Amino acid sequence: ADIKAGRQIASAQCRTCHGLDGIAQIPVAPHLAGESEIYLQTQLKAFRSGKRTNEMMDVVAKNLTDDDIANVAAWYSAIKISVEMPE
């Protein structure tokens, strides 16, 4: 997969809701930062096929090729995340 190509897709089609860095910009969208490539690919393909549905994602996913999906999954997956639990 081509991470730079994935970054371009993320910047053009994902960032308004999910952030270029994978931190969601709106509460109804999930963070994508650091999610596994297989998870991201599976979900994008599920939106594309209609197995999983969401008003926004149905529209976005149907225009993505398998290569696009592999590339954008590689981008978000490559973001490192760290967490801090509440006391």
Spatial separation of the C-alpha atoms in residues 40 and 42, rounded to whole Å: 5
Rounded to whole angstroms, the Cα distance separating 81 from 54 reads: 26
- Amino acid symbol at 87: E
Answer for which of 15, 45, 52, 60 binds a copy of itself (CB under 8 A) is: 52
* Secondary structure (3-state) at 10: helix
Q: Is residue 3 at the binding interface for a copy of itself, with CB under 8 A as the rule? A: yes
Is 34 one of the binding residues for a copy of itself (CB under 8 A)?
yes
Contact 60, 47 (CB under 8 A): yes
Per rule CB under 8 A, is residue 82 in the interface with a copy of itself? yes
For 21, how many CA atoms within 13 A lie in the half-sphere containing its CB? 4
Indicate the residue among 68 and 77 with the shorter CB distance to a copy of itself.
Answer: 77
Q: With binding defined as CB under 8 A, does residue 65 bind a copy of itself?
A: no
In the complex, the smallest distance separating the C-beta of residue 45 from a copy of itself, rounded to whole angstroms, is: 13
Among 12, 39, 49, 58, binds a copy of itself (CB under 8 A): 39
